[in-house]
Chains A and B, each alone.
Chain A
Amino acid sequence: AQSVSQHNHHVILSEAASLELGCNYSYGGTVNLFWYVQYPGQHLQLLLKYFSGDPLVKGIKGFEAEFIKSKFSFNLRKPSVQWSDTAEYFCAVCSGNTGKLIFGQGTTLQVKP
């Protein structure tokens, strides 16, 4: 069965610290990869996506992610976090030609001012 694993459940950082959230998936075929963010009291928003091409993708608010096919990984990075980045982050995979997103467990990021 397909699955997505996020390495960290709860991350606490100070402002200006660098961020890397790990995400691994299990699926051997073609996948589309996503990172979504859920700010407190708000709905899920797309941060960035990977469908094909350059494995380093840039998203909104200074976030980027790198797809490493050999490692089945799609880690999220940001060089310098802000207090406003406090949120829950979800990695998701959509396999092949389906409308079914499989989500990781989520990582709660708390940024201290």
Chain B
Amino acid sequence: KAGVTQTPRYLIKTRGQQVTLSCSPISGHRSVSWYQQTPGQGLQFLFEYFSETQRNKGNFPGRFSGRQFSNSRSEMNVSTLELGDSALYLCASSSRGGAGYNEQFFGPGTRLTVL
């Protein structure tokens, strides 16, 4: 089974621009979560999608948004980039059973650098 894939792996943008990151979950997984990883703040939850609906949202400004498609692939978008948005953005996918969520499997991440 192929793992979680994320594209692109590296991005360099300038302040004020916007960026779109893509995530393809493990086949059969319908839940996709996004996290931001920085040296100072660690791993922070951005949002989670299940069956094309946002189910949970972290404490990030509205510049951070996402969506999920019918094939479970997900995209996240950051508008009006700021220097502090430089981070590793991780996507994770999970299956969901009757007892709730199962463990999350992480992709390699997209390294975003904002200049």
Contact = CB atoms under 8 A, between A and B. Distances in A.
Contact of A99 (B43, B99, B101, B107): B101
Interface residues of B, number: 26
Contacts of A34: 103
B30 to A, nearest CB: 10
Contacts of B99: 51
A32 interface: yes
B103 to A, nearest CB: 5
Chain B: interface secondary structure?
Answer: strand
A104 to B, nearest CB: 8
Interface residues of A, number: 24
Interface in B73-105: 90, 92, 94, 96, 99-101, 103-105
B101 A103 contact: no
Interface of B: 31, 33, 35, 42-45, 48, 50, 55-56, 58, 90, 92, 94, 96, 99-101, 103-109
Interface of A: 32, 34, 36, 42-46, 49, 51, 90, 92, 94, 96-106
